[in-house]
């Protein structure tokens, strides 16, 4: 093709647009062949300008754009290529696949359906089958059962000419039979969805003939269909066929129990289930089902004994959940019995320390595994958890024996479920009777940290002061810096600035190399809150000179940002956040704080939303991957959701803002944050939801009054003014 242009030029001819387009197209093909893709794109783009109605040029551009990752341009070129040549099945397939990858299934279905309809019957049957199967698959994703069925039927029509398709497509006989059986099975499921049960049964039967290996699984599907048609006797025969295969799954066993009851043979169910459980002793779902069936038949004691036996060898949360159901059903004594069971497992799991080697008892890993499984299962049972916590508090207040680690586990559980009074009682009992939670370790620091955390949640700043003073006087194995830091923050929350700064200074004085940076950063923030911004900034500047590791510099910058924010010097606060993000664009806290700053000043709102959403994604990734372990791994950060809600409010997206702020208000850390409730009140007021807005504002005021540590003393007064504006 290049030769055409060369000849014309050599003989003095003047090539027209068509000739130039051909030459450019040919050049593109040569460059593409040589893998020079970026250069190859320019030639057909020029050719398209000269000859915009040549399908081959648009087809070439489609492939090149995909190769150099320009998907939007590829979509446009592919669409145009098909408009010019609707019979180009290769481009149709490529275009549909791209639409499917972009989650635009309905458009992909339309492209494939048109291509299949235009495909001549003399076209290769294996190609027709391929298009038909892809059409069915994409239509299924799009939720279009009619086109799904049409696709599978078209594929079967091609498969029916088995000898021809084997020859044309060179498909081995066994592979072709498996493909036909799979298509029959999928068509049967579609017929079920479209309420065509008789056709579904016929297709299931054909699939079994084509590939007998599917018989057991297909029999289960047939049994389910017959059961829905109220044909229990036939369904029972089908499920028995499934049960004849190995391994036995839970679904057919449960189905047989139902069907036996449906045909008035329910008395056979327990014997059947016991045999299945005996034959497959390590099938935990079956063992749990046997426990449930025993309970259903009024044999609760036997059920509990059976599950205990299973739990001894397989201490999993799933088996523990079956046991917990028994304790939960025992309204009178279940909670105390469960607590005793848990305490016994913890005692054996932890073992016993002692100065005398002969009195030491090594921990038992199997018992520890049981204790962990019971605690995991218990966290999922809200009502039972409350009963167990009450039983635990009654025991410790009555001076009954309860293992130290049982107390701390219950306290942590109470804290997580925001039953703060119970958590406080349990942690205080640990301090009255300290013990060894694990061989070789001391639990005093754990108990103090837990108690101070719970008191902080409850805004009990005076109690925090008392505990810190007590710890400084009597604690033996807890870092004194912990008490100085918590004491300094509590005193500042109480408005005792002099006492707060004195405690912060002691924290620095008594810190070591490991804790000194934290103590000094704490002092800088408290200096700013005390109105001594100059000293706070000087402290941060001194830290920059003394600490130069990347993580240390980041922490100092963040502290300086907070100091400037307290002083309402937002430009300098933002400057530090930007420097943090220059060094590490994946710093979630800096992303959130900078986005929130923008929202507060009602500027750069597009960038603010991008930053806050990035913070949420980064935080979500950190919580759900790697080695991070936490009880709230399934919860987004409430502060970040509050920031997002506030950004959306500023952007006028009120419905979205309300959704995010209501999410934040239901999460730990957001349910007791007055800022969240104040923001929610603003959104509801703008939506003219006056009573809900008033409720949110009043909740914010109650939280401020309860002692929430606030860096903006004017916030409660501003909320009261907003409440007045809601008056009719």
| Domain residue extents for the chain | 86-209, 211-302
- Once rounded to an integer, what is the mean pLDDT over residues 458-475? 92
DSSP letters, 618-651, are HHHHHHHSTT---TTTTS--HHHHHHHHHHHHHT
Share above pLDDT 70 across residues of the chain, in percent, rounded to a whole number = 87
- What is the structure's pLDDT at 356? 56
Q: Compute how many other C-beta atoms are within 10 angstroms of the C-beta atom of residue 152.
A: 28
**Alpha carbon distance 272, 294 (integer Å):** 12
**Alpha carbon distance 728, 724 (integer Å):** 9
pTM of the model: 0.61
| Helix, coil or strand: residue 361 | strand
Sign of CA dihedral 422, 424, 426, 428: negative
3-state class percentages of the chain: helix first, strand second, coil last, to nearest 5 = 75, 0, 25
The predicted-structure confidence for 493-537, as pLDDT tens digits, reads as follows 898 999 999 999 999 999 999 999 999 999 999 999 999 999 999
- Which residue from 183, 119, 346, 46 is spatially nearest to 111, judged by alpha carbons? 119
**Alpha carbon distance 310, 287 (integer Å):** 7
**Token code pair at residue 536:** 């706070």
pLDDT at 629 over 80: no
- What is the structure's pLDDT at 58? 83
Which is higher by pLDDT, 124 or 315? 315
For residue 327, the surrounding DSSP H or E stretch is: helix 317-329
pLDDT at 376 over 90: no
Q: Compute how many other C-beta atoms are within 10 angstroms of the C-beta atom of residue 436.
A: 17
Burial 536-554 (b: 16+ CB within 10 A, else e): bbebbeebeeebeeeeebb
Least reliable range by pLDDT among 222-226, 362-366, 691-695: 362-366
pLDDT at 151 over 50: yes
Please give the C-alpha separations between residue 196 and each of 149, 156, 184, 324, 433, in angstroms, as whole numbers.
Answer: 11, 18, 14, 43, 69
- Once rounded to an integer, what is the mean pLDDT over residues 12-17? 44
pLDDT at 386 over 60: yes
**Token code pair at residue 139:** 């239509």
- Once rounded to an integer, what is the mean pLDDT over residues 95-105? 87
- What is the structure's pLDDT at 379? 84
Domain spanning 86-209: which superfamily?
Tetratricopeptide repeat domain (1.25.40.10)
Sign of CA dihedral 476, 479, 483, 486: negative
| Helix, coil or strand: residue 211 | coil
**Token code pair at residue 616:** 């949420």
CATH topology of domain 211-302: 1.25.40
The predicted-structure confidence for 336-350, as pLDDT tens digits, reads as follows 999 999 999 888 887
**Alpha carbon distance 647, 605 (integer Å):** 7
Q: How far is CA 584 from the centre of its chain?
A: 24
Q: How far is CA 592 from the centre of its chain?
A: 19
- What is the structure's pLDDT at 39? 59
The predicted-structure confidence for 571-615, as pLDDT tens digits, reads as follows 999 999 999 999 999 999 999 999 999 999 999 999 999 999 999
Query: Which residues 6+ apart lie within 8 Å of 89 measured at CB?
Result: 115, 119, 123, 127, 131
Query: Which residues 6+ apart lie within 8 Å of 297 measured at CB?
Result: 270
DSSP letters, 340-355, are HHHHHHHHHHH-B--S
Q: Compute how many other C-beta atoms are within 10 angstroms of the C-beta atom of residue 565.
A: 21
**Alpha carbon distance 235, 232 (integer Å):** 5
Average pLDDT across the chain, whole number: 84
- What is the structure's pLDDT at 463? 94
- Which residue from 394, 456, 458 is spatially nearest to 425, judged by alpha carbons? 394
**Alpha carbon distance 220, 223 (integer Å):** 5
pLDDT band at 630 (very low <50, low <70, confident <90, very high): very low
Backbone dihedral angles phi then psi of residue 314, each to the nearest 5 degrees: -135, 80
Nearest 10 degrees: Cα torsion 210, 211, 212, 214: -130
**Token code pair at residue 383:** 């009502």
- Which residue from 183, 99, 179, 204 is spatially nearest to 141, judged by alpha carbons? 99
The predicted-structure confidence for 590-602, as pLDDT tens digits, reads as follows 999 999 999 999 9
Please give the C-alpha separations between residue 4 and each of 31, 197, 615, in angstroms, as whole numbers.
Answer: 18, 64, 59
End-to-end CA, the chain: 82
pLDDT at 230 over 60: yes
Share above pLDDT 90 across residues of the chain, in percent, rounded to a whole number = 37
- What is the structure's pLDDT at 63? 81
**Token code pair at residue 577:** 């956040």
Nearest 10 degrees: Cα torsion 504, 509, 515, 518: 30
Cβ neighbourhood burial of 131 (10 Å; 0-12, 13-18, 19+): buried
- What is the structure's pLDDT at 167? 65
The predicted-structure confidence for 303-343, as pLDDT tens digits, reads as follows 889 988 989 888 888 999 988 988 888 888 989 999 999 99
**Token code pair at residue 402:** 């309860």
- What is the structure's pLDDT at 16? 46
- Two domains, one topology: 86-209 and 211-302: yes
- What is the structure's pLDDT at 677? 95
Angle at 583 between CA 648 and CA 572, to 5 degrees: 60
């Amino acid at each position: 093709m290049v030769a055409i242009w060369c000849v014309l030029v050599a003989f003095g001819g003047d090539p027209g647009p068509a000739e130039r387009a051909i030459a450019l197209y040919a050049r593109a093909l040569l460059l593409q062949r040589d893998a020079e893709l970026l250069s190859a794109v320019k030639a057909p783009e020029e050719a398209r300008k000269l000859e915009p109605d040549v399908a081959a040029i648009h087809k070439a551009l489609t492939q090149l754009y995909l190769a150099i990752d320009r998907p939007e341009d590829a979509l446009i070129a592919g669409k145009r290529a098909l408009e010019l040549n609707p019979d180009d099945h290769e481009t149709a397939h490529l275009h549909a696949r791209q639409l499917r990858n972009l989650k635009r299934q309905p458009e992909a279905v339309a492209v494939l359906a048109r291509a299949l309809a235009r495909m001549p019957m003399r076209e290769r049957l294996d190609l027709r089958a391929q298009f038909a199967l892809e059409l069915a698959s994409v239509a299924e994703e799009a939720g279009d059962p009619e086109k799904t069925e049409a696709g599978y039927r078209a594929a079967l029509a091609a498969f029916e000419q088995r000898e021809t398709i084997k020859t044309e497509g060179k498909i081995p006989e066994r592979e072709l039979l498996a493909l036909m059986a799979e298509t029959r099975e999928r068509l049967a499921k579609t017929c079920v969805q479209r309420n065509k049960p008789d056709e579904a049964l016929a297709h299931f039967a054909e699939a079994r003939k084509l590939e007998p290996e599917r018989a057991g699984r297909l029999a289960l599907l047939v049994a389910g269909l017959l059961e829905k048609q109220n044909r229990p006797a036939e369904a029972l025969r089908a499920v028995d066929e499934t049960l004849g295969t190995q391994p036995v799954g839970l679904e057919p066993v449960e189905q047989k129990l139902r069907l036996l009851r449906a045909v008035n043979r329910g008395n056979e169910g327990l014997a059947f289930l016991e045999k299945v459980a005996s034959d497959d002793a390590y099938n935990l779902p079956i063992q749990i089902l046997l426990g449930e069936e025993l309970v259903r038949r009024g044999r609760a004691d036997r059920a509990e004994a059976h599950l205990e036996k299973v739990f001894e060898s397989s201490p999993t949360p799933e088996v523990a959940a079956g046991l917990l159901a028994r304790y939960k059903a025992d309204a009178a004594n279940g909670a105390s019995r469960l607590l005793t069971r848990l305490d016994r497992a913890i005692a054996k799991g932890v073992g016993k320390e002692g100065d005398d080697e002969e009195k030491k008892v090594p921990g038992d890993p199997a018992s520890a595994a049981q204790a962990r499984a019971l605690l995991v299962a218990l966290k999922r049972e809200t009502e039972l958890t409350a009963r167990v916590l009450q039983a635990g508090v009654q025991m410790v207040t009555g001076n009954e024996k309860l293992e130290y680690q049982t107390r701390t586990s219950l306290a942590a559980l109470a804290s997580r479920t925001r039953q703060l009074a119970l958590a406080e009682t349990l942690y205080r009992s640990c301090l009255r009777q300290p013990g060894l939670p694990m061989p070789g370790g001391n639990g005093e620091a754990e108990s103090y940290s837990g108690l101070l955390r719970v008191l902080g949640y409850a805004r009990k700043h005076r109690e925090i002061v008392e505990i810190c003073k007590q710890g400084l006087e009597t604690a033996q194995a807890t870092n004194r810096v912990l008490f100085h830091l918590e004491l300094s923050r509590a005193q500042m929350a109480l408005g005792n600035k002099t006492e707060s700064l004195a405690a912060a200074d002691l924290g620095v004085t008594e810190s070591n190399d490991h804790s000194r940076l934290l103590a000094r950063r704490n002092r800088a923030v408290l200096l700013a809150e005390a109105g001594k911004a100059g000293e706070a900034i000087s402290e941060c500047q001194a830290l920059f000179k003394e600490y130069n590791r990347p993580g240390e510099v980041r922490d100092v910058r963040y502290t300086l940002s907070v100091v400037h924010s307290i002083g309402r010097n937002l430009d300098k606060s933002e400057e530090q956040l930007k420097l943090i993000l220059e060094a590490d664009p994946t710093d979630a806290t800096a992303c959130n704080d900078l986005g929130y700053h923008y929202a507060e000043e009602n500027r750069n709102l597009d960038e603010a939303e991008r930053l806050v959403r990035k913070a949420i994604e980064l935080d979500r990734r950190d919580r759900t991957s790697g080695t991070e372990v936490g009880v709230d791994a399934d919860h987004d950060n409430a502060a970040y959701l509050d920031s997002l809600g506030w950004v959306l409010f500023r952007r006028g997206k009120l419905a979205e803002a309300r959704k995010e702020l209501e999410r934040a208000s239901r999460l730990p850390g957001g349910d007791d944050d007055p800022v969240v409730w104040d923001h929610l009140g603003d959104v509801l007021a703008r939506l003219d939801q006056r009573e809900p807005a008033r409720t949110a504002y009043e909740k914010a005021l109650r939280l401020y009054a309860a002692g929430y540590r606030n860096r903006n003393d004017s916030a409660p007064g501003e909320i009261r003014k907003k409440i007045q504006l809601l008056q009719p």
